[in-house]
A = this chain, B = another copy of it.
Amino acid sequence: MHQIIEPTLLLNKSICKANIKGMAERVKSWKADFRPHFKTHQSAEVAEWFREEGIERITVSSFKMAFYFAQNGWKDITVALTATKINADVINVLASKINLNILVEDEYTIMELENLLQHPVGLFIKVDTGYHRTGVDADDLVKIKKLLNRLRDTKKLIFIGFLTHAGNTYHSDNSKEFIETVELGLEKILALKTFLMDQFPLMQLSWGDTPSCAVYNNFYGIDEFRPGNFVFYDNMQVHIGSCQMSDVAVCMAAPVLAVHPQRNEIVVHAGAVHLSKDRLELADGSSSYGTVVKMNGLNWDVEQILGQVKSLSQEHGIISVSEHLINTIKPGDVLGIIPVHSCLTANLMKQFLCTNGNFIEMLK
């Protein structure tokens, strides 16, 4: 049995495979394509579990990630980060080897890339359906038509359709608001199909985000789905209502450094460089950087919640526990922490230890 002597990100393969299978079946039931986002796991080995479900097309969030998965046999990749002229060289290398799709949202970049590219690439226009991060406002038909006019003449940039990431689902306060957010976003992107179908009958609509894909069911008209976080889920997704705590496939094994009964606190080796500083606001107004659970070997028990990580510094996490629990815990014991945001936690750890004792590597 592997002994935990430093913060170690555990991965339960059975839960993870069930999450993949579950989402693949949901998307299949909508008669749409599944192009999962691989930014959460960033691992060639975890990627193979998707292949077992028949997945061949993927999404990544950087060209670096696209290279990594291309080297690991993935032949159809959408880089879901707005491209600009400075990406021309990497696009040329990638597009010579695989089917590559990129995202663009401005005329200037279309003109620049059309001049610089050597191979045809698929192009999605990134649209903003309410998240207000990137993308052309989906209501701004004047701007969208300008971009489409440019794309009529391009030989390297092949218009495929419109892509949105409905990241505003993460900000909903309740399920009514959540449904309204999803439906407003859907209405906006579906309107583009209605308005432009005559001119672009092959147009595809691509939709992202784990919360909506995990919960909502009436996706009529969307061609492709790109959720990513669902592969592991996390405490944030439990909080939003996308999953149960028992669906979370990763857990940080954190050695106890110190026990302070006078203030009912335990200090663990698991800090901002392991968990990330993403946090949840709890019902009582306090912050949680992770939910602490009991460990049993390399397995964690979500039925036995010990407390919350209430603050983090670089290497340390401070956990509040109840008075009757604190005397059962000693320095050198190992506790489990369900992370708030598994994407950021995995990205920091760069490696998983499976609950069967095998290590799984990620993109470094």
Contact = CB atoms under 8 A, between A and B. Distances in A.
Interface of A: 3-6, 39, 61-64, 81-82, 84-87, 89-90, 105-106, 108-109, 112, 132-135, 137, 167, 255-259, 262-263, 267, 269, 272-273, 276-278, 313-316, 318, 330-332, 334, 343-344, 347-348, 350, 364
Given A6-B64, A344-B272, A134 B256 contact: no
B331 A82 contact: yes
A269 to B, nearest CB: 7
A87 B334 CA distance: 13
Contacts of A348: 347-348
A331 B133 contact: no
A106 B259 contact: yes
A133 B267 contact: yes
Nearest to A267: B134
B6 A257 contact: no
A126 to B, nearest CB: 8
A316 B263 CA distance: 39
A112 B332 CA distance: 10
A334 B87 CA distance: 13
A272 B167 CA distance: 15
A319 to B, nearest CB: 12
B86 A258 contact: no
A132 B313 CA distance: 12
Nearest to A103: B257
Contacts of A167: 313
A36 to B, nearest CB: 15
Contacts of A109: 331-332
A331 B113 CA distance: 12
19 contacts: A4-B86, A5-B86, A5-B90, A61-B314, A81-B257, A81-B316, A82-B258, A84-B255, A84-B257, A84-B332, A85-B331, A86-B334, A108-B331, A133-B318, A134-B316, A137-B262, A277-B278, A314-B344, A364-B364
B267 A272 contact: no
Contacts of A137: 262
Contacts of A86: 3-5, 255, 332, 334
A314 B39 contact: yes
B134 A263 contact: no
Contacts of A106: 258-259, 331
Contact of A276 (B84, B272, B343): B272
A258 B259 CA distance: 48
A280 to B, nearest CB: 13
A142 to B, nearest CB: 12
Contacts of A105: 258
A330 B276 contact: no
A130 to B, nearest CB: 13
Contacts of A61: 314-315
A61 B269 CA distance: 10
Nearest to A228: B314
Contact of A87 (B5, B87, B344, B364): B5
